[in-house]
Amino acid sequence: MNVISFKERKGWSITVHDLSGSPVAAASMVTPFVASPGSDRVSCSNPGSWLILRPGDGTWKPWGRLEAWRERGGSDGLGYRFELIPDTNGGMSAAGIVLAESTLSSNKGGKFVIDLSSRVGSGGSNGRATPGSATSPVCSPRSSGDHGYGLWPYCMYRGFVMSASVEGEGRCSKPTVEVSVPHVNCTEDAAAFVALAAAVDLSVDACRLFSQRLRKELCQQMELLG
């Protein structure tokens, strides 16, 4: 994991390797986590974001996008939204399908869950569409060369997909990731979910109030550069 941090939290990256040492998934912070004007927190109106990436055709292809921010009010938690990205040219700008949108406790942590068993359908904002049921047309990563993108949006996630436990801010956690067997057809499938879980975990720290110091291992390179 690389961590590059100055006045804003940016440039963090995660790479997941298989047992042979080959990279099989990655997460890259593509939108910096910065405090909203007049505040020391990352706001919902200007969230930081990660791209979850899978290898394909000799390069990295975007599979999903995770946005995170610091909630206001009594919860004072980590707000997040995760969506799948269809494989179109310049996929970062493509409209995705939201699979998870909720809040975790910034202090105690909690579970990040993708479970389409009882989703209530609704139209998403900004061109996003929320799955209406367990049979919603949502694409799963596949073991084929195009990772299932050629079937978008006709291949589906159903029911429970994954969960990951994360610790609260300031703690060095090791997320426990559970993935439903039908959604894992190859190493890259499992690795993509692991990269997503790691990005959720690091978002707890990325969204920490800017008046508070990051834990040592996350600001070590900044100290060396300073």
Q: What distances in angstroms separate CA 160 from CA 113, 154, 187, 215, one per listed residue?
A: 8, 18, 19, 33
Which is more confidently placed, 12 or 2? 12
Q: How many residues does the chain have?
A: 226
Mean pLDDT (whole number) for 109-135 = 54
Q: Are strands 176-179 and 97-104 parallel, antiparallel or unpaired?
A: unpaired
Give the sheet arrangement for strand 59-70, strand by strand.
2-5, 9-17, 23-31, 48-56, 59-70, 78-84, 97-104, 129-130, 122-123
Residues 177 and 222: beta-carbon distance below 8 Å: no
Per-residue pLDDT, 22: 94
Domain boundaries, the chain: 2-119+136-213
Per-residue pLDDT, 3: 41
pLDDT in tens, 17-67: 999 999 999 999 999 999 988 888 899 999 999 999 999 888 999 999 999
Per-residue pLDDT, 49: 97
Per-residue pLDDT, 214: 79
* SS3 category, 109: strand
Give the bridge partners for 70, in sequence order: 78
Per-residue pLDDT, 218: 67
pLDDT in tens, 180-223: 998 888 999 999 999 999 999 999 999 988 888 777 666 654 44
pLDDT averaged over every residue in the chain: 76
**Range in 1-10, 53-62, 99-108, 167-176 with the lowest mean pLDDT:** 1-10
Per-residue pLDDT, 126: 30
Per-residue pLDDT, 156: 56
Report whether pLDDT(5) > 60: no
Instruction: Copy the structure tokens of residue 182.
Output: 């039908």
Per-residue pLDDT, 132: 35
Per-residue pLDDT, 179: 93
Per-residue pLDDT, 72: 81
- Burial of residue 60 (CB within 10 Å: 0-12, 13-18, 19+) is middle
Residue 191 to residue 25: CA distance in whole angstroms: 5
Residues 116 and 133: beta-carbon distance below 8 Å: yes
Residue 207 to residue 190: CA distance in whole angstroms: 26
Residue 5 to residue 202: CA distance in whole angstroms: 13
Which is more confidently placed, 66 or 141? 66
